Amino acid sequence: MTLRTLGCGEVKPAHYGTTQTFAGWVQTIRAKGTMAFLVLRDRTGLVQFVIKKEGNGPLFDQLTPLSPESVVSITGLVQATEKAKAGFEVIPSAAKVLNVAATPLPFALWDDKIETGIDTRLDNRYLDLRGNRSAAIFRIRHKVVESGSTWLRANGFQEIHTSNISGASSEGGTDVYKFDYFGRKAFLAQSPQLYKQMMMAAGMDRVFEVGWYFRAEKHNTVRHLNESTAFDLELSFIESEEDVMKAIEGLLSHIWKAVATDCAAEVATLKADVPVPTKGFRRVPYEEALTIINHELDTATDLPAELKMPHLKFGDDIGSSAEKVLWRAMKREGHDFYFITKWPLAPKPFYVMPEDGTQDSRLCRGFDLDYRGVELISGGQRIHDPVLLEAGIKRWGLDPKDFKDYLDAFRYGMPPHGGCGIGIERILMMMLGLPNIREAILFPRDVTRLTP
């Protein structure tokens, strides 16, 4: 006898009248006198067994004492019945107890009346992932990665895998993990940014990577992680950042449609709203965004107290509160997705293309994509001229000698190019309305959490 011939959620009318073997975790056992109802769960769903003591005493005595979340394999006859909500039940004939779960469980896994804090859930992640909510999130995460990768490949992007160990900070910031690499200074990569650009010089016109980000920021908020994942993509022979934004429109529209269509049950479990984009994403130049935000601050009569702030001026960042103010105006226009374009050059990374092609430029060809009031993506056109790029490195107070391998890739024919990074956890948090980004990654790492 095999441990499993059919998934718990895979029973079809064609299986009625057949004997099948199921394996999984005991979710509940309800005994009523000489009859018991055992619900078994695996990743495909649930199946209910009806166990009668009369005529099946040894099996009744074997199964009814089991603790919740014990692992068993049960063989039985699948019978159609109008009494069962699923339209069938299984009458067991044999069982193997594979592992008995300890009691009590670390938290009430199936009692919706008891709220369990996220720290307790993450401390016992293996158990938390058995619950409907977490299981739904990671089935959707799988669909996000699968559908995104499928769209990228179908649109000419080649998948690459780059190193997470670098001899230079990839974005020029200070929030990097430094370590000794056989007597030399090394860093964990903040992103595959520099390697993606080197691939443009290699003639790989379009590349993408589902990669890891490591950022040593000391933020401890519901929106930040110190280790995260992302779609990173880069494409060559572009006219401007507009070509990159068009690629993002196609990619995210495909992902949202795939989740809404293929994960409808999971979306319903999470009570999420996943509207499929039906029109192009709004472009809002940075200075127009400031005007919209300031106008909203002046005229809105229902602005929450936490969103009230001084007027923004050129050079100011559009922080989380200002993003939400801007979202109020975008929502009235019917835009869930909208790009903020033509940012000031000064705060942007050294590789971002200045708007007029000089390091004295006021603006740059970088952009952010916001979704419902939260930044989802940062990207833009990159500098492809080595002289201008070296000037950008110096503008950040960095030494071009530390970027020799990177700069060499620009000296022998680099095409105009651009790209972006799209955080997968940020996609899930915003798409599904999750209150904490830590729910969107299996084993979150933040300023306090290093286990499990």
30 catalytic residue (yes or no): no
159 catalytic residue (yes or no): no
Q: What is d(CA 443, CA 227) in angstroms, rounded to the nearest whole number?
A: 9
The pairing of beta strand 158-159 with beta strand 206-214: parallel
70 catalytic residue (yes or no): no
Altogether, the residues listed in the chain come to a count of: 452
Compute CA distances 11 → 36, 46, 315, 404, whole Å: 21, 10, 60, 60
395 catalytic residue (yes or no): no
Q: Which of 375, 390, 425, 439 is catalytic?
A: 375
Q: Which of 215, 365, 382, 417 is catalytic?
A: 215
Q: Which of 70, 73, 169, 378 is catalytic?
A: 378
Query: Taking Cα atoms as reference points, which of 68, 35, 34 lies closest to residue 50?
Result: 35
Q: What is d(CA 273, CA 276) in angstroms, rounded to the nearest whole number?
A: 10
Q: What is d(CA 260, CA 276) in angstroms, rounded to the nearest whole number?
A: 7
Q: What is d(CA 230, CA 413) in angstroms, rounded to the nearest whole number?
A: 28
The residue with tokens 């909500």 is 85
121 catalytic residue (yes or no): no
Q: Which of 130, 224, 362, 449 is catalytic?
A: 224
Q: What is d(CA 396, CA 347) in angstroms, rounded to the nearest whole number?
A: 9
| β partners of residue 418 | 235, 381
Contact 428, 141 (CB under 8 A): yes
335 catalytic residue (yes or no): no
* DSSP code, position 17: T
Q: What is d(CA 422, CA 444) in angstroms, rounded to the nearest whole number?
A: 18
Query: Taking Cα atoms as reference points, which of 165, 195, 193 lies closest to residue 179?
Result: 165
Q: Which of 10, 217, 227, 242 is catalytic?
A: 217
Q: Which of 241, 426, 438, 439 is catalytic?
A: 426
Contact 320, 306 (CB under 8 A): no
Please, what's the b/e burial string for 151-167 (b: 16 or more CB within 10 A of its CB; e: otherwise)?
Answer: bbeeeebeebebebebe
133 catalytic residue (yes or no): no
Q: Which of 125, 130, 139, 223 is catalytic?
A: 223
Show which residues are catalytic: 215, 217, 223-224, 375, 378, 426
